[in-house]
């Protein structure tokens, strides 16, 4: 059986990997291997590694790489630990293909280890752009170390092609997050708010603000601007916060959030909403912050996203996305605009909810994964291949 190894680093990518993992696991010709790392293994972020066993995915290896600090030095050292840990995991598991998603520094460590171990890499969501974070460079770096590319839209297909990748190995499959949305079982409104132990208000906001790693203004300052804007709304707005990523400034931001919710009865901070996250999108009135979830998933629920700052700048966006500067007055104005407008039948540019089936079909069609290891740069001349 061909061994397909999937790496997950946190709550966000697990939701996107769930259905590709499930289909691989169910296929009689494939063996699923699962390597868990990063925030999954941290009590600070809810020890979400436990979700895998609960969902029927035995964990093949754990790569514990996160240090307790959130400085740039701590994150860089974590990457080094990750490369060491993934070297061991890959050597022990001997996968035929490594399936990676996105742009996290933990995933870069896995790609580096696979490159040296001569393990072919299939990469999901290459070609996207996030100009406000160093994730941008990480994503493009993984693209150049990958051999099969599963992109989420045609614009990203063009970018990966522009990077010299073989067009035959670039596949526009759409976003797997829409697969999860189409297959999910949702709690009704009362059961959802009871499950998260929160008293719903007239308006309810789902808020995630991650570190902005390339900004001239610190992430903590930007987040304080957002919190000041939220205070202008009053207690008619319920505020559901999820914790930021383990990036530089992440723990400082987490502390600020904890202080904020401790003095406001209409606000609550969650390590992770886990399997309740999609029910949250179904029952809140909008998404606020700078998470990619507001770009990918929120439009499928016909709710607006107030996208703050530059972290997601460059991504393909639905009409329900309201962009604003990380300034109190602009954020407040954008939230009011989102509250007043109705969004119905929003067109989501990220696919049709059948991405996982496409990924499985393409993986199974690869006769010899090792044959993909030697790559050549595909030039493009006025839309035609050339070898000059």
Q: Report the half-sphere exposure of 291 (CA within 13 A, side-chain side).
A: 20
CA terminus-to-terminus distance, the chain: 41
**Cα–Cα distance measured from residue 95 to residue 2, given in angstroms and rounded to the nearest whole number:** 8
Give the largest CA-CA distance in the chain. Answer: 65
Mean pLDDT of 318-331: 97
Yes or no: say if 116 and 138 are a contact pair by the CB < 8 Å rule: no
pLDDT digits (tens, 9 = 90+) for 327-356: 999 999 999 999 998 888 899 899 899 999
Identify the band that residue 11 occupies on the pLDDT scale cut at 50, 70 and 90.
confident
Q: Report the half-sphere exposure of 92 (CA within 13 A, side-chain side).
A: 13
CA angle 378, 166, 93 (to 5 degrees): 130
Identify the band that residue 381 occupies on the pLDDT scale cut at 50, 70 and 90.
low
Which is it for strands 170-172 and 61-63: parallel, antiparallel or unpaired? unpaired
pLDDT digits (tens, 9 = 90+) for 227-248: 999 999 999 999 999 999 888 8
Higher pLDDT, 314 or 149: 149
Which is it for strands 321-324 and 267-270: parallel, antiparallel or unpaired? unpaired
**Cα–Cα distance measured from residue 98 to residue 95, given in angstroms and rounded to the nearest whole number:** 7
Give how far Cα 150 sits from Cα of 136, 173, 268, 277, 360, Å.
17, 6, 36, 24, 11
Q: Phi-psi bin for 58: left (phi > 0), alpha (psi -120 to 50), beta? A: beta
Give how far Cα 322 sits from Cα of 242, 259, 308, Å.
20, 28, 8
- Residue 290 reports pLDDT greater than 90: yes
What pLDDT, on a 0 to 100 scale, did the predictor assign at position 284?
Answer: 98
Query: Among residues 129, 83, 131, 127, which one has the least CA distance to residue 105?
Result: 83
Q: Report the half-sphere exposure of 140 (CA within 13 A, side-chain side).
A: 12
Domains of the chain listed by start with CATH number: 2-174+354-386 (3.40.50.2000), 187-340 (3.40.50.2000)
Yes or no: say if 278 and 184 are a contact pair by the CB < 8 Å rule: yes
CB atoms within 10 A of CB 163: 16
Mean pLDDT of 172-196: 96
């Amino acid at each position: 059986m061909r061994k397909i190894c999937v790496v997950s680093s946190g709550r966000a990518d697990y939701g996107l990997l769930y259905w590709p993992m499930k289909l691989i696991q169910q296929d009689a010709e494939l063996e699923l291997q699962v390597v868990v790392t990063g925030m999954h293994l941290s009590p600070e972020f809810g020890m979400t590694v436990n979700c895998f066993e609960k969902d029927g995915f035995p964990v093949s290896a754990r790569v514990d790489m996160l240090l307790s600090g959130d400085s740039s030095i701590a994150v860089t050292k974590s990457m080094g630990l990750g490369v060491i840990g993934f070297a061991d995991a890959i050597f022990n598991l001997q996968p035929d293909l490594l399936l990676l998603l996105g742009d996290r520094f933990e995933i870069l460590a896995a790609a580096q280890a696979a490159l040296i171990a001569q393990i072919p890499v299939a990469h999901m969501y290459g070609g996207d752009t996030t100009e406000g974070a160093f994730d941008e460079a990480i994503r493009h770096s993984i693209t150049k170390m990958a051999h099969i590319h599963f992109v989420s839209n045609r614009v990203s297909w063009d970018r990966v092609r522009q990077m010299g990748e073989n067009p035959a190995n670039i596949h526009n499959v759409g976003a797997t997050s829409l697969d999860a949305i189409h297959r999910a079982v949702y709690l009704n409104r009362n059961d959802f708010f009871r499950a998260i132990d929160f008293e719903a208000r007239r308006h309810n906001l789902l808020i995630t603000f991650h570190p902005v790693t390339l900004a001239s203004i610190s992430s903590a300052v930007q987040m304080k601007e957002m919190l000041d804007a939220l205070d202008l709304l009053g207690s008619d707005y319920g505020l559901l916060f999820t914790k930021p990523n383990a990036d530089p400034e992440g723990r400082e931001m987490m502390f600020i959030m904890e202080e904020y919710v401790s003095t406001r009865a209409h606000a609550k901070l969650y390590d992770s909403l886990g399997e309740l996250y999609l029910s949250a999108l179904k029952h809140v009135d909008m998404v606020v912050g700078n998470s990619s979830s507001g770009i990918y998933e929120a439009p499928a629920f016909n709710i607006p996203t107030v996208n703050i700052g530059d972290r997601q700048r460059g991504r393909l966006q639905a009409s329900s996305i309201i962009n604003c500067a990380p300034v109190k007055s602009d954020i407040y104005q954008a939230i009011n605009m989102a509250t007043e407008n109705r969004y119905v039948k929003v067109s989501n540019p990220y696919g049709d909810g059948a991405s996982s089936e496409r990924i499985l079909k393409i993986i199974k069609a690869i006769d010899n994964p090792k044959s993909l290891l030697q790559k050549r740069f595909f030039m493009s001349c006025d839309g035609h291949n050339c070898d000059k």
